C-alpha cells in the first residue's frame, strides 16, 4: 500500500473512534463544566489529530478475528490517554503551538489544562468499565492501560532529566523510547487483541512488536522535527529548543570532536526562549556532519525490518497491511 492508502485506512478506522469520543464527551456540553472541561478537550482533540492509535486497536481486533465494535470503548480510552499525555507534555515542555494552533495551556491557562488532562484519564477508565465486555476482559484492559500509564510516566521522567546531558547515550535514548513511546503505541494493538480473545502467547508477541515500532516511531518524530516541523507553526528544531534527548543528540555526542560536543551541550542547555535560529541551524549542520541524521533513519529502518519478523509470527489475517503500517511509521512526513 502507498502512504496515501495507509493514511486513508487509518483515517477510516480512526473516525469510528472519533464518533464514539463525541458521544462520550459531548462537544456541546453546557455550563461551567462544558466551558472549562469539554471545550478545552475538544479544542485540543479537534486540531487535527490523526487517531492512529485507536485505528491500530480496531484493525488488530479485526485481524485477530474479533469484532471492531467490541474494541471501540478501549480505542476511546487509548485516544483519551494519548491526548492527555500530549496536553500535559505541552505544559512540561513549554510548547506554545501544537498542530499549528495555540496549545491548551496557552489558550485556557495551565490550571484548566492540567485539570482537563486529569479528567481525560478518569473518562478513559470510565470508557473501559462501561464497555459491556466481560469482567475478565475489562480487568485485562485496565491492567494494560494502567501499566502503560505508569511506564509512560517513567519514560517522561527520564526524558525531562536527560535533557542537555553531556553523558547521554544511544542506550539511554532507547530506554526512553521503549518506556515513553513503545508502551503507549503498542498497548492499542494489545487491547484490540485482548478484545478479540487472543492467547497470552499472541499478546506477548504484540508487546514485543512495540520494542521495534515504538522507537521507530519516536526516531521518525525526531527527524521530522528537524526537517518539516511537527505542526508547530512551521517551526523547525523545537526539540533543540527544549534540549530534548533525541537519538540525533546521542549519536552526535558520540561522534563530535570535543569543541563541537561542548558547543552542542551548551546549545541544548539554553533556556527555550534564548535559543536562537542560528543555534538550531548550527546543531542541524552538526547532526548532518556527524552522520546522525542518516544514522537515525537507518536505525529506524532496521527496527522496521525486525518488526516484520515479529509480525510474521503473529496470526494476523492480513500481515501485509501491518507491515505497510510499520513502514509508514518509519517513513511518514508528519
Tell me, which fold does domain 3-331 have in CATH?
A: Farnesyl Diphosphate Synthase (1.10.600)
Q: Are 91 and 113 in contact (CB under 8 A)?
A: yes
Residues 6+ apart with CB under 8 A from 179: 151, 152, 154, 155, 158
Alpha helix (H) ranges present in the chain? 3-24, 31-33, 39-45, 52-63, 68-93, 104-108, 110-129, 135-161, 170-176, 183-195, 200-227, 238-241, 247-255, 258-269, 277-289, 292-312, 319-331
Backbone angles phi, psi at 113, to 5 degrees: -65, -45
111-137 pLDDT, tens digit each: 999 999 999 999 999 999 999 999 999
Residue 97 bridge partners (DSSP): 102
Residue pLDDT, tens place only, 26-77: 998 889 888 899 999 999 998 766 789 999 999 999 999 999 999 999 999 9
> pLDDT tens digits, residue range 168-210?
999 999 999 999 999 999 999 999 999 999 999 999 999 999 9
Segments making up each domain of the chain, as ranges? 3-331
pTM: 0.93
| Segment (H or E) for 98 | strand 97-98
51: phi then psi, degrees, rounded to nearest 5: 55, 35
Amino acid at each position: 500500500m502507498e502512504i496515501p492508502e495507509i493514511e486513508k485506512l487509518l483515517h477510516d478506522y480512526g473516525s469510528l473512534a472519533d464518533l464514539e469520543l463525541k458521544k462520550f464527551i459531548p462537544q456541546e456540553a453546557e455550563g461551567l463544566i462544558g466551558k472549562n472541561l469539554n471545550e478545552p478537550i475538544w479544542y485540543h482533540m479537534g486540531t487535527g489529530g490523526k487517531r492512529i492509535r485507536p485505528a491500530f486497536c480496531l484493525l488488530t481486533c479485526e485481524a485477530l478475528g474479533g469484532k471492531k465494535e467490541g474494541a471501540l470503548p478501549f480505542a476511546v480510552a487509548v485516544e483519551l490517554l494519548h491526548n492527555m499525555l500530549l496536553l500535559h507534555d505541552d505544559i512540561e515542555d513549554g510548547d506554545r503551538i501544537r498542530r499549528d494552533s495555540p496549545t491548551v495551556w496557552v489558550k485556557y491557562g495551565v490550571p484548566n489544562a492540567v485539570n482537563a488532562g486529569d479528567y481525560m484519564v478518569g473518562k478513559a477508565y470510565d470508557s473501559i468499565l462501561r464497555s459491556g465486555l466481560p469482567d475478565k476482559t475489562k480487568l485485562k484492559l485496565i491492567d494494560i492501560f494502567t501499566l502503560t500509564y505508569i511506564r509512560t510516566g517513567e519514560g517522561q521522567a527520564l526524558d525531562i532529566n536527560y535533557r542537555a546531558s553531556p553523558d547521554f547515550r544511544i542506550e539511554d535514548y532507547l530506554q526512553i523510547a521503549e518506556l515513553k513511546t513503545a508502551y503507549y503505541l503498542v498497548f492499542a494493538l494489545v487491547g484490540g487483541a485482548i478484545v478479540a480473545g487472543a492467547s497470552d502467547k499472541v499478546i506477548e508477541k504484540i508487546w514485543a512488536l512495540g520494542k521495534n515500532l515504538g522507537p521507530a516511531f519516536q526516531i521518525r518524530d525526531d527527524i521530522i522535527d528537524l526537517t518539516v516541523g511537527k505542526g508547530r507553526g512551521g517551526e523547525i528544531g523545537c526539540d533543540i529548543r527544549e534540549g530534548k534527548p533525541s537519538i540525533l543528540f546521542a549519536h552526535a555526542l558520540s561522534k563530535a570532536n570535543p569543541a563541537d560536543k561542548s558547543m552542542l551541550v551548551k546549545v541544548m542547555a539554553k533556556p527555550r526562549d534564548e535559543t536562537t535560529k542560528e543555534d538550531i541551524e548550527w546543531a542541524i549542520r552538526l547532526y548532518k556532519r556527524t552522520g546522525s541524521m542518516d544514522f537515525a533513519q537507518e536505525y529506524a529502518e532496521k527496527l522496521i525490518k525486525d518488526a516484520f519478523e515479529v509480525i510474521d509470527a503473529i496470526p494476523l489475517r492480513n500481515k501485509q497491511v501491518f507491515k505497510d503500517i510499520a513502514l509508514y511509521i518509519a517513513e511518514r512526513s508528519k
